[in-house]
Amino acid sequence: MNIPRFAAYLNPGLLTLLVALIHGTSLADGADPSRPNVVILFTDDMGYGDLACYGHPSIKTPNIDRLADDGIRLTSFVTGSWCVPSRTQLMTGRYLPRIPLGKTGANGAGGLPDSEWTLAEALKDSGYKTHMVGKWHLGYKQKKFLPVNQGFDTWFGLPYSNDYMKPWVQTDEPLGLFRGDTMVEHPFDQDPLTTRYTKEAVQLIERSGGDHPFLLYLAYAMPHLPLAVSDERRGSSNAGFYGDVIEEVDWSVGQVLKALEEKGIADNTLVFFASDNGPWIEMPMRMQQAGNELWHAGSVGPLRGSKGQTYEGGPRVPAMLRWPGKIAAGQVSDGFVGMPDIYRTILSVAGAKLPDHTLDGDDLTDFLTGKTKSAPRQEYFYFKRDLEALRSGDWKLRTASGELELFNMVTDPFERINRVADYPEKAQTLLSRMHKMADEVGVDVKE
């Protein structure tokens, strides 16, 4: 029998069963054991120093710490320096300037064009059930831009950030909760939002099964300003209001992990946890009102910079992956990894087809499973509106301050010492590479 030709006539569920029978494998809970479920836990504005496992002295995060202990914790993971580019990289594996996205906040008419092959579309095409809970921020004004028209079977959450309302943003557009393609609740109380998202996610896990693995993307609203926390956990931490919020996210992660274990699918689930960008330490004046305080932003730990900047405090975030039996437990790695790599890696482990356009991510599978010692990424470009920095190997060149700044990211990951005078040729080589990329994606180098 010509299996590839015969397979064209089968639906994904029957094909999965056939492959399992041919190879003598069993289907635990109906799932193909060679393709894991995928759970993405994505926080909003959580800083590099906000978790106990990244050094916070008073915030307790036992569930996230356990997730890190059970897999690999990354200390050199970078993404966009604010929410839209980081979510674009996760959903498409591409730098934002490659995509004519437009504005996606309140009243913004933009969104992901049909030419993009989203993570959800790729996995759905590969036979996965796909679910999203939480913040989208990649287009909403036209229904075609909403998650349920970008590859997700279900969605419950917000179309953009939780501050898109007066007095922080001068808009009359209602900030409301959506289910599917319909706003179902406005106004709503943000305080129990993390607990509501958690309940939704847990129920989706409990209902999973059958012939299909699943993707669950849980994109928290917190700890983006304005902060909100449930009555149950208000005042429960030793780190003030911000600590309460982070510890509630940790509780939520614990509930999701518990649901996977009780369903009996934890060992066949790849879990990825990260923040979209660093904390809003240098928040604009519009946010410094109506209850928001400067100490309601998180910590970059020892890093330099803040959300919206291309020093490491903006784009370098906590990140970890767990996949029992595939990713060895107890690893801490400073391997250089970028958010586009997550898209590329998930498509790989899911057996999904790649798009026919340029991707900016590498497949991490061999690195994560120990087949190679080094992460494959060689360079990462830091965009704001223009291109502001490039890391290549051990070196990072930043142009956004009006002068060339060259940092050795191994000996000086805190970006304190400008080495341009010591290595002028290195700086010029990296600057030339920045100009080449800027020309490729149609932006300028900020100098």
**Side by side, which strands form the sheet with 154-157?**
182-185, 177-179, 154-157, 129-134, 214-219, 37-43, 269-275, 319-322, 72-74, 331-333
Helix (H, G, I), strand (E, B) or coil at 445: strand
d(CA 106, CA 183): 14
Q: Would you state the structure tokens that stand for residue 213, as one six-digit string?
A: 């693995």
- Of 56, 131, 137, 224, which one is the catalytic site residue? 137
* β pairing state of 177-179 and 214-219: unpaired
Inter-residue contact 212 to 31 (CB < 8 Å): yes
DSSP structure class, residue 187: S
* β pairing state of 395-398 and 387-392: antiparallel
- Selection from 151, 121, 255, 135 nearest residue 201 by Cα: 255
Instruction: Report H helices in 377-423.
Output: none
- Of 23, 53, 56, 83, which one is the catalytic site residue? 83
- Catalytic residue status for 23: no
Residue for token digits 């200390």?
75
- Selection from 64, 122, 108 nearest residue 322 by Cα: 64
Helix (H, G, I), strand (E, B) or coil at 22: helix
Q: Is the dihedral of CA 206, 208, 209, 214 positive or negative?
A: negative
CB count, 10 Å around CB of 440?
13
At a CB cut-off of 8 Å and minimum separation 6, what does 39 contact?
A: 215, 216, 218, 256, 260, 269, 270, 271, 272
d(CA 215, CA 88): 17
d(CA 303, CA 308): 14
- Catalytic residue status for 53: no
Active site residues: 83, 137
